[in-house]
Structure 1
C-alpha cells in the first residue's frame, strides 16, 4: 500500500532535517510510556527541543529583518528560507500524526520507532508557535497523559463496499472508532476521487492523499483559516488564495506522493476535483472555521 511507504518516507524526511535526534525521541517516548513519570519529566524531555527550534526561528526572523534593513535581498531570502523550512517541518509532523492515526487502525506497528515519533511529534507541535516567540517556551499546553505501546492487532479496512468494521482507538486522545456519519463522508470522498487519478492506486491511497496529506496542509494555512472565518462557504470556494494554497500543498507533497502530485500539478481538472472533494465531504471549510473559533477562544 502506497500509504505505508509514504509513512516511512515522511519519517525519513523528518529525521533528515536535523532538528532532533533519536535520543530526544526516545526520551519523550520513555516518559510517555512510564506510568511513574511526572509532569516535570515530560517538561525536561521536550522543552529543550522546542526552545532550540523557537530560538532558531527567532534568529532567522531577526536575520531577515537586518538583511532587509541593509537591502541585502539574497541574505533576506536565505533567512526566510530558514523560517519556511521550520514551518514546513511543523506541517510535516502534523501530516505524520494524521497518517499514523489512519494507518494505526489497520496495521500493527511492530517497529515501535514509528509510534515513538508519533508521541514525540504530538508533544512538540503545540509548543512550536512560530512567530509568537516568548523568552521561555509556553508549557501551558503540555500535560502528561501516559501512553502504552501495545499490539492492537490489525483489521482489513474496506471503505468502498459492504459493512466497514469498527476500528480500535489509538489511545484516550486518539481518533477513535469510525462513526456512521464519518464512514458516510469517507465513502463520499472515495466516490468523488474515484477515477480522478490514473494508475494503480487503491481507494486507501487516494483517501490518504486527498483527505489526509493535502487537507492537513491546508488546515495549517493561517490565511485560509482567516478567510473561512470571515466569508461564506461560496465566497471561500472561489478564493484565488484557496487555489494557490492547494497548489502549494500539492507541490509540498510531491516527494512523498510523486504520482498523484504530478497528475494534480499537470491537470486543473484533478486540482478542481480535489478542491471540490475537500469542500464537500472533506469538510475543509467547516474544519478551518472550527480551528479559527478554537484559537479565538484560546486568546480570550
Structure 2
C-alpha cells in the first residue's frame, strides 16, 4: 500500500511539472502496485475459502492431522489482518457541493404486525421443491444454432432470416445422397476436411437468388464459409442422431 501511495504522489508531481518521462514511470509503478494488491486480495480470498472448507469437512471426515488443524487455526487468525484498502487514484473535492433538492419515492408497502397472534406457530412448507421443469433439448439446440449464426452474420440480419437461409441450404444438401453418406458415416473433423465445405458453397450458389445478401457474405469470406459449413454439418449430424427427422427438416 505504501508503494502505491508513493506512486500516486509521484504521478501527481509529474503531472504538475509536465514531466512526461516521470509520468510514464509513475504509471508503471502504479500498475505494479495494483498487481501486488490483486495478488494479496486473491490470497486473502483463497485463505478464507480454505478455512471455511476445512471447518465444514472436518465435521464430516476425521482428518486426524495436527499440522492441518494448526494451519486452519493460523489461517483463521491471519485472514482479518490481511486488509486490502484500495486507494483512489484521484481525490474528488466535494467541499463546494450543496444539496439543492431531493426526491422521495415509494418503493414498497408492508404491514407490520406488532401484536402476537394466538394459536400455534408453524412454518410454511416449501412449495417450490420439485417444481422445476427440465430443459427442452430441442429449444437448447435451436438456441445454439442461432448463436452460431449470429457469430457468422452478426445482428444485422434477423434470426428468422438466418434460420430460413440455413434450413434451406441444409434441406438441399440433405437430398444429396453422396454427401449424406459422408455425414452419417464419418466424424465432424473428417467431413470438414473432405468435399463437404465445397459442396455447401455450391449449394449456396444455387440458392443465391433467394438469399442474395446472406449468400454473398458466405461466398466472400472464407472464414464465414467454413463456419457456416460447420454449423450445417452439426445440424445434419444432430438430425440423424435424433432419428425420425427428415433430413434437415428440423
TM-score, normalisation: structure 2: 0.40
Larger Rg: 2
TM-score (norm 1): 0.33
More RCO (CA 8 Å, sep 6+): 1
